[in-house]
Amino acid sequence: MSIKNESVHKAVLPALALRGLVVFPGQVIQFEVGRKKSALAIDEAISTSQTVFLIAQKDIREDDPARVNFMKTGVVATIRQVNKAPGDVIRVVAEGLYRAKITEMIKRDPYLKVEIARCALVETKGNVKTEGLVRSAKNAFDAYCERTQGVPHDIVLEIAATKKPGHLADFIAANVVQDYEAKQMILDELNSVKRLEKLHVLLEREIQMLDIEEEIQQKVQEQINQNQKEYFLREQIKTIMNELGEGDNPYEDAEEFRERMENLNLPIDVQEKLEKDCERFSRMPPGSHDAAVLRNYLDITLGLPWNKTTKDKINIPAARRQLDHDHFGMQKVKERILEMLAVRKLSPDIKGQIICLVGPPGVGKTSIARSIAKAIGRKYVRIALGGVKDESEIRGHRRTYIGAMPGRIISAIRQAKVKNPLMLLDEVDKLSNDFRGDPTSALLEVLDAEQNHTYQDHFIDVPFDLSEVLFLMTANNYGAIPSPLLDRMEIIELPSYTHEEKFAIAKKHLIPKQVKKHGMDAKTIRFRDDAVRFLIDGYTREAGVRNLERKLASLCRKTAVRVVSETEEKCSITIPQIEEMLGPVKYKPEDLSRKSEVGIANGLAWTSVGGEIMPIEVAILDGSGKIELTGSLGDVMKESAKAAVSYIRAHTEELNINHDFYLKKDIHIHVPEGAVPKDGPSAGITLATALISALSGRAVRGDLAMTGEITLRGKVLPIGGLKEKTMAAYRNGMQTVVVPKGNQSDLSELDETVRNRLCFVIADTLDDVLSVALEDSGEEKTAPVEKKVLRAPKGEPVKPAIADTVN
């Protein structure tokens, strides 16, 4: 190896900072100069030695040459020609002479001037390895030329004649390599053999890149040719169809479906199936029945929001304000909903939270679902399930049937236009079944978090993800919901409204709503508080507030007539005006007797619209021991009556009743409103009390109501629906309610107003009931027992026979 030391002198030269351009020794290059400092450097070079130092700058984005960082190595070049170009641009032709490095920056303004030192090159004497490297590099260059076919012929000849490795590397790099950083790497290498080795690696990489580009280009060209062929054929078919007078073109529709499919980013299995259907559709003759069916199927399926969602905006304080604004009371329900939202904010991917709101009509089940959707920013859709008998209503019909369509779940998703709406399944307890299937069973997959991510509608026939849908359900009676479906829900009960709650709802919500709806304002019509209370008590008797809203709407309509007729400019709704507009009072306080009478006991019944007072009447007649039951009683109530008679026969002495009454007397038990079917065990103690009263002649308190099942041994068993039953007792002016001991823990769940207004007597046996319900025979039968007698502190017995009394 020999070293050729050419750095025998230093020189001070003007310098040009090149952007994205690297010059090699021996290379003649043309470039344009636009920066002012670079133009001054060219002028300095022309006026002195005709030489300039060319070096690339590291950051090509920097516009000021005075602040740039330079590469390691540059080239001293001689200027051959300078021409002026339009736009204050100078076109320069220069030839590289030798490599050099900057040793000192002389000045930066008004142009760059540096001291440079010539680089010492390392040249290697020729040997077999060097010759092999040169030949390999030339072969790689030939391979590159075959792939590009754009290298000038004189360059090819020059490279073929070059034998020195250093000169060969410089010449090929200057004419072949595109990346300026790769060129700089070649320029920085002073060892000629290593320089050629690096160039050889760059050439091989460039050849591989050219091969890849050619392969890609070939595939693209093939695809273009195929598309052009298909386009040409479709245009031919289109022309033929137009000549035949056939309007619809399934090929154009199929292309439209394919474009929609590409924009949806569908799951792979769904994509493959729909692509096959599109292909089959494109081959069908236009106007055929199958083509119409398939077009409808593809249109509906591709119209689903496969990947479109809304982002939840869960803000607990804002959600609380929204719920309080839309609904009065219902604190337990609101707290449970806020808990659900808080958990969803902390864990957005949580599954399986399906809430069923159960309560009588008109208490706000449907509207609270709408409030939840508004609070979290989700789309709201409602599915009415009342009266649905066909399973296909839920799952859809097979598309082979005439008039086939998707089920209600998928239709609701299409309506919402997002895949994560809040979906309300309304009146789920009203579902029924017949020979067409059980729609309740079809809901099992919809509401199961482990299955509904692959829900498959019969019409769509591909899996659709329902796991992001927030399901809410409503029902009047959760006992009518099948157990497998009930097991997938969390029940939240909405109780009946108290008088005070109805008054607050009317003042805050219903009256402003109806006044605005009927085109009036607070100056035109004003409702007095005593009139609103009179309207609630005298014209409505319901668990919710729907009928109350209807009555308010009626008052607004009648007031509107007076205002439009110009008989009154302003109207204040008072009690006399309510009676004038709505007619006589429908529900009077004396509808239910508060007198203590013999043979009549007030029971409490649960219905789907709330609780009701159920008076039971017993008449003792001379006869032969027959028992007559009237009032549309079910089997369970009839059995309760027989059990009560058997208990009385076993305890005639303690009850002071003739022991042979069942031989000489007929017993007639009647429950009023005979057209309404009645059943259930909770009237057991009421039946027994009325029978004992009639047989013994002792009156039953008229301000007392009771509920509980009775056994043959006089044990009082717990019942259900206590909340609705006690609400009915409160609405009907009862003062005392007898409840089974087994329901004592349920008293804490009652409304606070009900707990404060009623006195609850806990009964373990029928003796406990009788000691409170029956008056002594010496008392006047028409005098009610004062309520304060039962106002004992919690846990303190009122009478020795009573186990406990809870206020």
Beta bridge partners of residue 90, listed in sequence order: 33, 84
pLDDT tens string 191-207: 888 888 888 888 888 88
592-806 topology per CATH: Ribosomal Protein S5; domain 2 (3.30.230)
Alpha-carbon gap, residue 32 to 87, rounded angstroms: 11
One-letter amino acid of 570:
K
Q: Residue 447: pLDDT band by 50, 70, 90 thresholds? A: confident
Instruction: Please tell me the predicted confidence (pLDDT) of residue 768.
Output: 92
Q: What is the pLDDT of residues 718-769, one digit of tens each?
A: 998 888 888 888 878 889 999 999 999 888 888 788 888 899 999 999 999 9
Classify residue 660 by burial, with Cβ atoms within 10 Å: 0-12, 13-18, 19+. Answer: exposed
Confidence of residue 225 (pLDDT cuts 50, 70, 90): confident
Closest CA to 618 of 667, 665, 686: 667
Q: Provide the pLDDT for residue 779.
A: 43
pLDDT class for 795, splitting at 50, 70, 90? Answer: very low
CATH architecture of 2-123: Roll (2.30)
For residue 499, pLDDT over 80 is answered with no
Q: Give the residue among 100, 89, 10 at the shortest CA–CA distance from 55.
A: 100
Lowest-pLDDT choice from 1-15, 36-50, 551-565: 1-15
Confidence (pLDDT) at 782:
37
Q: Which of 138, 723, 725, 741 is catalytic?
A: 725
Q: Spell out the domain ranges in the chain.
A: 2-123, 248-302, 316-493, 499-587, 592-806
Answer whether residue 593 shows pLDDT above 60.
no
Q: Please name the CATH architecture into which domain 316-493 falls.
A: 3-Layer(aba) Sandwich (3.40)
Model confidence pLDDT, tens digit, residues 463-491: 998 888 888 999 988 778 888 888 888 88
Provide the pLDDT confidence category of residue 497 given band limits of 50, 70 and 90: confident
pLDDT-derived band of residue 287, with 50, 70 and 90 as boundaries? low
How high is the pLDDT of residue 483? 83
725 is a catalytic site residue = yes
Query: Mean per-residue pLDDT for 397-426?
Result: 89
pLDDT band at 176 (very low <50, low <70, confident <90, very high): confident
Identify the pLDDT of residue 802: 33
Per the prediction, the chain carries an average pLDDT of 83
Percent of the chain's residues with pLDDT above 70: 90
User: What pLDDT is recorded for position 244?
Assistant: 63
Residue 6 has pLDDT above 60, yes or no: no
Bridge partners, residue 78, by sequence: 51, 95
Query: 425-453: string of b/e by CB count within 10 Å (b at 16+)?
Result: bbbbbbbeeeeebbbbbbbbbbbbeeebe
In 38-65, which positions are buried (b, 16+ CB within 10 angstroms) versus exposed (e)? bbbbbebbeeeeebbbbbbbeeeeeeeb
The arithmetic mean of pLDDT across residues 331-350, rounded, is 84
Closest listed residue to residue 458, CA positions, set 386, 509, 408, 497: 408
CB 267 within 8 A of CB 463: yes
C-alpha distances in Å from residue 439, one per residue of 13, 61, 73, 216, 388: 93, 69, 82, 55, 7
3 state SS of 315 = coil
Q: Identify the three-state secondary structure at position 303.
A: coil
The pLDDT of residue 806: 33
**CA atoms of 706 and 729, how far apart (whole Å):** 9
Model pLDDT for residues 515-543, shown as the tens digit of each residue: 999 888 888 888 999 999 899 888 887 87
Query: Does pLDDT of 632 surpass 70?
Result: yes
pLDDT of 683-694, one tens digit each?
999 999 999 999
* pLDDT surpassing 60 at residue 8: no
Token pair for residue 724?
Answer: 């609705």
> What pLDDT sits at residue 788?
33
pLDDT of residue 767: 92
**Integer Cα distance of 511 and 30 in angstroms:** 88
Q: Tell me the fold of 499-587.
A: Helicase, Ruva Protein; domain 3 (1.10.8)
Name the CA radius of gyration of the chain, rounded: 48
Is residue 711 over pLDDT 70?
A: yes
**Active site residue: 38, 192, 682, 693, which one?**
682
Q: What's the pLDDT tens digit per position in 83-110?
A: 888 877 889 999 999 999 988 888 888 8
What is the C-alpha separation between 525 and 507, in angstroms, rounded? 13
pLDDT for residue 784: 37
